[in-house]
């Protein structure tokens, strides 16, 4: 979300005032003004680089689609937790060091909600309605989150994941057969990376496969960070769609997540719909982008691709290394400080925004020697955990399912298409510019 997310549903204000109000930031008013500016005005502003006051300003520029902007490494060299200016013009703490990210992921003083009385005054990260601002109520956040995890856990049981892993194998085989029937070159993004996660979502939720294009469109629109109205409209449409599905499952339960949720005693319909939407968004674009990035990384290392095709036991390690190296988005995971936090030589004040750049932390040389080297056998020698699925409280609910899906794609791709290679140089690949999840617009390959 992640890359995402909202477990508390649409934006809401806290019910009661906390003991202590956070200090106000001088730039918040201009920041709110900025949010109201027409998009065209904002586009004309100088966008990158270091401003006069010394803060680096997001977004940073990438040299190529694969590697996170070099400016993140420069920032980390200054310190693992440093202030930056966000896309919305507010200040936020950027966490780029692995050790700091690991600790802060687990720090109970950080939350997704804003600890002040008015979340509209919180420092904004972007105009995205779900990943650019706080969510939920600081008083109930922890309890609601815990409940969400408890409610979702049975739907991601070992049995369900095993079942879905089997389905993933069959779905991948189908997609690869269709690809083999074509004359090369082709776009792997269109042929495999986009359809597979949608098909998996259809399996998970029992959604009719005919609805896949609508779902894909909503998912893309919802991830937009530059057009809040478009994102909100997608959210509303998906809400109605999912509500209908929930009603259907109440009448005719099946072996899927919506039926699991609908069968739970006392879980209100609106909450079931929100949880389903959360899963749909959390599990879709994240998987699409990792299939693209993983394939690209492998194809740029033909000897490792060949080794993977020859030895299936390399698949789990390859998946971990792809996840570590794939940084499709430069949006950090958003948190707000609910208390003052002394860390790594700085003080994060109550109410400050914190952006955990977990993908950048996964390239920290202090955690992974020679971090920009892709090595599918690295997992054996690595002492530090990858943060690709986050860590601690919000650790990805679908991590095992995602791993199964990726393992299925890459193992099968390497065996079925041993001669697969990129059809264009890296410099010609384009990144999606305006979504929180990022990713490639196309991945031309030949075989």
Q: Site residues for ligand HEM, window 141-160 (CB under 6 A)? A: 149
Which residues make Cβ contacts (< 8 Å) with residue 286, sequence separation at least 6? Answer: 1, 2, 3, 4, 402, 437
Only one of the segments 135-143, 230-238, 313-321, 391-399 lies at the binding site for ligand HEM (rule: CB under 6 A); that segment is 391-399
CB 89, min distance to ligand HEM, A: 23
- The span from the CA of 209 to the CA of 162, in Å, is 21
In degrees, to the nearest 5, what angle opens at C-alpha 155 toward C-alphas 152 and 157?
Answer: 110
Residue 59 DSSP one-character state: P
Rule CB under 6 A: choose which of 14, 283, 351, 411 binds ligand HEM.
283
With CB atoms as reference, the residue minimizing the distance to ligand HEM is 398
Which helix (H) or strand (E) element contains residue 150? helix 141-152
Helices and strands counted in the chain (H then E): 16, 12
Residue closer to ligand HEM by CB (options 115, 398) is: 398
Any bridge partners for residue 336, and if so which?
111, 353
Among 101, 104, 402, 443, interactor with ligand HEM by CB under 6 A: 402
Asked if 278 is part of the footprint of ligand HEM (rule: CB under 6 A), the reply reads yes
CB count within 10 Å of CB 264 equals 12
Question: Could you tell me the end-to-end alpha-carbon distance of the chain, in angstroms, rounded to an integer?
Answer: 33
Per CB under 6 A, the segment of 65-73, 240-248, 279-287, 341-349 that binds ligand HEM is 279-287
Neighbours of 43 (CB within 10 A): 10
The binder of ligand HEM chosen from 273, 287, 348, 436 (CB under 6 A): 287
Tokens coding 198:
């949608």
Among 393, 387, 355, smallest CA distance to 81 is for 355
CB atoms within 10 A of CB 428: 11
Q: Does 401 bind ligand HEM (CB under 6 A)?
A: yes
CB of 135 to ligand HEM, least distance (A): 10
User: C-beta of 125: minimal distance to ligand HEM in Å?
Assistant: 12
Q: How far is the CB of 118 from ligand HEM (least distance, A)?
A: 23
Which among 82-90, 221-229, 396-404, 417-425 is the span making contact with ligand HEM, rule CB under 6 A? 396-404
Q: How far is CA 47 from the centre of its chain?
A: 23
* Distance separating alpha carbons of residues 276 and 115, to the nearest angstrom: 27
Q: What are φ and ψ of residue 320, in 5° steps?
A: -60, -40
How many other CB atoms are there within 10 angstroms of residue 442's CB atom? 16
The minimum distance between CB 398 and ligand HEM, in angstroms, equals 2
Give least dist CB 168 to ligand HEM, A. 11
Per CB under 6 A, the list member of 175, 279, 298, 341 interacting with ligand HEM is 279
**Alpha carbon separation from 214 to 148, 202, 240, 241 (Å, rounded):** 27, 12, 13, 10
Verify binding: residue 125, ligand HEM, rule CB under 6 A: no
Q: Residue 290 interacts with ligand HEM (CB under 6 A)?
A: yes
Give min distance, CB of 283 to ligand HEM, in A. 3
Closer Cβ to ligand HEM, 7 or 321, answer by number: 7
Q: Which of 258, 402 has the CB closer to ligand HEM? A: 402
Contact positions vs ligand HEM (CB under 6 A): 1-3, 5, 7, 149, 278-279, 282-283, 286-287, 290, 333, 358, 388-390, 394, 396-398, 401-402
């Amino acid at each position: 979300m992640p890359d995402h997310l909202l477990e508390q549903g649409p934006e809401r204000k806290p019910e009661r005032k906390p003991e202590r109000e956070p200090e106000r930031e001088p730039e918040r008013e201009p920041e709110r003004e900025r949010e109201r500016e027409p998009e065209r005005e904002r586009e004309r502003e100088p966008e990158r680089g270091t401003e006069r006051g010394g803060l680096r300003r997001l977004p940073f520029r990438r040299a190529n689609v694969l590697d996170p902007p070099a400016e993140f490494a420069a920032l980390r060299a200054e310190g693992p937790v440093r202030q930056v200016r966000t896309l919305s013009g507010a200040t936020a703490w950027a966490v780029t060091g692995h050790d700091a990210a690991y600790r802060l992921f687990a720090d109970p003083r950080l939350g997704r909600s804003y600890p002040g009385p008015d979340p509209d005054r919180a420092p904004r990260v972007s105009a995205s309605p779900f990943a650019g601002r706080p969510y939920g109520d600081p008083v109930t956040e922890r309890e609601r989150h815990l409940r969400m995890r408890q409610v979702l856990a049975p739907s991601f049981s070992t049995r369900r994941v095993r079942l879905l892993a089997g389905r993933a194998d069959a779905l991948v085989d189908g997609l690869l057969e269709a690809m083999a029937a074509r004359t090369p070159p082709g776009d792997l993004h269109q042929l495999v990376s986009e359809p597979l996660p949608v098909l998996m979502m259809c399996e998970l939720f029992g959604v009719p496969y005919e609805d896949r294009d609508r779902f894909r469109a909503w998912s893309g629109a919802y991830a937009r960070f530059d057009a809040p109205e478009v994102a909100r409209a997608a959210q509303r449409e998906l809400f109605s769609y999912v509500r209908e599905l929930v009603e259907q499952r109440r009448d005719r339960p099946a072996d899927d997540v919506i039926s699991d949720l609908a069968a739970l005693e006392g879980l209100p319909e609106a909450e079931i719909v929100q949880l389903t939407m959360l899963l749909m968004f959390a599990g879709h674009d994240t998987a699409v982008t990792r299939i693209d990035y993983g394939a690209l990384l492998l194809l740029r290392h033909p000897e490792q691709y060949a080794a993977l095709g020859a030895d299936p036991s390399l698949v789990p390690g390859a998946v971990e290394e792809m996840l570590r190296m794939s940084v499709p988005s430069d949006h950090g995971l958003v948190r707000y400080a609910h208390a003052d936090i002394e860390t790594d030589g700085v003080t994060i004040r109550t109410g400050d925004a914190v952006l955990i750049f977990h993908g950048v932390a996964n390239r920290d040389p202090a955690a992974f020697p020679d971090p920009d080297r892709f090595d599918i056998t690295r997992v054996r020698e690595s002492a530090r955990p990858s943060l690709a699925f986050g860590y601690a409280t919000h650790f990805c609910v679908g991590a095992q399912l995602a791993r199964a899906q990726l393992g299925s794609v890459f193992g099968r791709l390497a065996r079925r298409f041993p001669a697969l290679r990129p059809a264009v140089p890296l410099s010609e690949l384009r990144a999606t510019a305006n979504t929180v999840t990022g990713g490639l617009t196309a991945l031309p390959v030949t075989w």
